[in-house]
Amino acid sequence: MPKRVLFISNGHGEDNHSAHIILRLRELAPDLDIAAMPIVGEGNAYRRLGIPLIGPTSPVPPSGGFSYVNRWLLLKDIQAGLLSVTLRQLQAVRRYAPQCDLIHATGDSVGQSFAYLSQRPFISFISCLSALYEGRLQTDFILRFVVRSPRCRALVTRDPFTAEDLIRQGFEKVHYGGIPSLDWLIPDGKDLALKPGLPMIALLPGSRVPEAVRNFKLQMQLVCETVQLMGETLQFRAALVPSLMKLVGEIATQMGWHYEAGRLWLVLPSGETAEIFCYDNAFNDIIYHTNLVIGMAGLAVAQAVAIGKPVIQIPGGGPQFTYAFAEAENRMLGPSVQTIGTGPATEATLREAAQRLQKTLNDPDYLAHCLENGRARLGIPGASIRISELILNNLGEKISSPRSEHLINNGEKTV
């Protein structure tokens, strides 16, 4: 009988982490029986891989899955039926779990609690938590209780600093995993219609509609400010999720821009043209070829920093990408990220951001430091291999070519 693994995740980024681990698992152990339970959102990352979902899914709640940023949003989530759906999801996990050999939970205390309540052995990948925010990871009572259970076989982190911090705090079974999606963050050869010799700026407005719509409108305004400051010396490429890409024509009409076949443009009073090419299938190529990122997202910004890209953040109105979130990301990702303004972006904020963009592109020492900072903060690629092999080791499966030399286990590298 093939071994069976259930993936539990509670967020868009967490779904993507898990999906990239599953891709690697399929290479290493193609006979593995895999299912999933996404707690927040519709689980599209799993659906694209044909992974069966064992329980009900739901649209992203009013908080966007970020009620921890503003606890009042939790009340709106409950009013929207979150509690009812969550209980049905937990029931589905408890029905399905007895058939499983291992549970893999990605996310914070919610997903980890699901894994604990499954009554099965589990691996905790706390991908959204990092000691880089404060210098020491502050864990809540629930998470501490869950990961100290004998059934928790491994506690996995997204960066090496957090692994080392948890070991210092006395946690056991700690492993550095990394960011699984980095292993696939390579150009796909998409034609971005780039003009030779002009720096390219990437626009990342986030993945959750309607917030991403509001963020993208701010970025369009920033493009106008930048063109007025620097002329037509830059080119802009937007990496959008499909649900946002479908709305670009409507957004253009609302903003007074023109739109046709992925191209947005606006003739400014100065006679210069602000122009953005939009894609919903070229994230890897845009991130790799960009000179600088205008970021209003979480995981996507971390990926850009990891490969050495400078990022300028402008806070939005939330619920996710507020100043509090942007400032926390700034602390976690270090000097590669510059946050402009201390509240929802205004015209003055956008002008300052355009000036900072110009200054950043003309600072070769800073750009070189971004390359060093990315690896120092977020570690090295190979997370999908490290975590997949950890899963297979816990299943007692043989691995044909061990490549776990970068795992950290209780303070020691293991081969």
pLDDT digits (tens, 9 = 90+) for 147-158: 999 999 999 999
| pLDDT on residue 63 | 53
pLDDT tens column, 337-372: 999 999 999 999 999 999 999 999 999 999 999 999
| pLDDT on residue 18 | 97
| pLDDT on residue 318 | 85
pTM of the prediction? 0.77
CB-CB contact of 217 with 347 (8 Å)? no
Element (H, E) at 325: helix 323-333
How many residues are given for the chain? Answer: 415
Q: How far is CA 76 from CA 67, 73, 85, 321, in A?
A: 9, 5, 14, 18
What are 328's two structure tokens?
């926390």
| pLDDT on residue 61 | 56
Cα separation, 55 vs 75, whole angstroms: 23
* 210 Cβ contact list (under 8 Å, min separation 6): none
Cα separation, 239 vs 242, whole angstroms: 10
Residues in the chain where the model's pLDDT stays below 50: 66-72, 74, 78, 401-415
Determine the 3-state secondary structure of 89 from DSSP: helix
Element (H, E) at 255: helix 248-255
Neighbours of 371 (CB within 10 A): 14
What are 44's two structure tokens?
């599209």
Element (H, E) at 36: strand 33-38
| pLDDT on residue 207 | 85
